[in-house]
Amino acid sequence: MSMFAATALNRKNATKQAWISRAFGAMTISLVIPVVLVMGTLIHRGAPSLSWAFLTEDPTGGMTAGGIFPALFGTVCIVIVALLASVPVGVAAAIYLSEYAPDNVFTRIINLAIINLAGVPSIVHALFGVGAFVLFMDFGTSILAASLTLAVMTLPVVIVSTRESLVAVPQAYRDACLSMGATKWQTIWRVVLPNAISGILTGIILEVSRTAGETAPIMFTGAAFFLPFLPQSVYDQTMAMSLHLFVVATQVPNVPESLPYGVALILVGMVLVMNSVSIGFRVYLRGKRKW
């Protein structure tokens, strides 16, 4: 017998490894199958509603016909304002926690608060938005109030992803920059952030997906059932895709069967387009990274 022949223990370990590999493969497939089924259903049932007019016209016939342009436009506005409000604050908080904050009770309380904020149901955020932005700050039911509510809700995503990206930058980069006479902020701005930007964009991608799909927070703070005009400023109400989908699927009678699926398909497609742009930019920046 060759000294390199597999022993009984080797064969047992190989069999066990094969079963483990199959189990993980089955888990992966079980995650992919629902996505394929959902997208297949949306495409099959929603395709008859899709047209250029569906994307560019206003709803008509009591929202049983026409297009979705006001809701599409409103969703883009809400997402953009929410990003402008949450990304700078989230990145700044992550920089403080990662680069400046000492490890003490105060910092641990902040971290605990961030974790708890991520677990708060969206309907609670909606009520907070009504009290804080609609009433207390007197923004009224508007794009600004809805976007700020969504910004607060998605802050943990930005903070956690940014902080993890900053921690992943090798400490040697900071030491080398500081040894050349740079200040701490110059080191963060010129060295740490550029090398962490791809991870920061990951958090932004997740925020876009959640912001565009939320219904409860915007229903109470800024989204309207139907508006015959586009918003002129952030202090106006607007239609939104997620609320429009809820309305046509549950509240409006005699809706064509394909209409709700068409709205859902466009909503998913819009999120995919936004995410694809961010992912492409992230891949480009990651390709320029030197480590």
DSSP string for 39-59: HHHHHHHHGGG-SHHHHHS-E
187 and 277 assigned to the same domain: yes
Q: Which of 216, 214, 218 is nearest to 206 (CA)?
A: 214
273 and 185 assigned to the same domain: yes
Q: Does pLDDT of 91 surpass 90?
A: yes
What local confidence, expressed as pLDDT, does residue 288 receive? 66
Structural domain contains residue 74: yes
Structural domain contains residue 3: no
User: In this predicted model, what pLDDT tens digit does every residue of 23-62 receive, in sequence order?
Assistant: 999 999 998 999 899 999 999 999 888 889 898 988 888 8
Q: Does pLDDT of 13 surpass 80?
A: yes
Q: Does pLDDT of 289 surpass 70?
A: no
Question: What percentage of the chain's residues is helix, strand, coil (to nearest 5)?
Answer: 75, 0, 20
User: Structurally, how many domains does the chain consist of?
Assistant: 2
Structural domain contains residue 150: yes
What local confidence, expressed as pLDDT, does residue 198 receive? 81
What local confidence, expressed as pLDDT, does residue 266 receive? 92
Structural domain contains residue 1: no
Q: How confident is the model at residue 255 (pLDDT cuts 50, 70, 90)?
A: confident
% of residues, the chain, pLDDT over 90: 39
Q: Does pLDDT of 22 surpass 60?
A: yes
The residues with which 65 forms a beta bridge, in sequence order, are: 60
Q: Does pLDDT of 291 surpass 60?
A: no
64 and 201 assigned to the same domain: yes
Q: Does pLDDT of 3 surpass 80?
A: no
User: Of 205 and 81, which is predicted with more confidence?
Assistant: 81
User: Of 251 and 147, which is predicted with more confidence?
Assistant: 147
CATH number at residue 96: 1.10.3720.10
Structural domain contains residue 83: yes
What local confidence, expressed as pLDDT, does residue 284 receive? 77
Is this model's pTM higher than 0.95 or not? no
Q: Does pLDDT of 261 surpass 70?
A: yes
238 and 275 assigned to the same domain: yes
Q: What is the amino acid identity at position 164? A: E
Q: What is the mean pLDDT of residues 197-215?
A: 85
Structural domain contains residue 206: yes
Whole-number average pLDDT of the chain? 88
13 and 105 assigned to the same domain: no
% of residues, the chain, pLDDT over 70: 96
244 and 170 assigned to the same domain: yes
45 and 75 assigned to the same domain: no
User: In this predicted model, what pLDDT tens digit does every residue of 95-145 receive, in sequence order?
Assistant: 999 889 888 888 888 888 888 888 888 899 999 999 999 999 999 999 999
What local confidence, expressed as pLDDT, does residue 142 receive? 93
Structural domain contains residue 233: yes
DSSP per-residue letters across 135-200? IIS---SSHHHHHHHHHHHHHHHHHHHHHHHHHHS-HHHHHHHHHTT--HHHHIIIIIHHHHHHHH
27 and 76 assigned to the same domain: no
What local confidence, expressed as pLDDT, does residue 23 receive? 93
250 and 261 assigned to the same domain: yes
Q: Does pLDDT of 252 surpass 90?
A: no
The whole domain housing 162 covers: 52-288
41 and 106 assigned to the same domain: no
Structural domain contains residue 65: yes
20 and 109 assigned to the same domain: no
35 and 163 assigned to the same domain: no
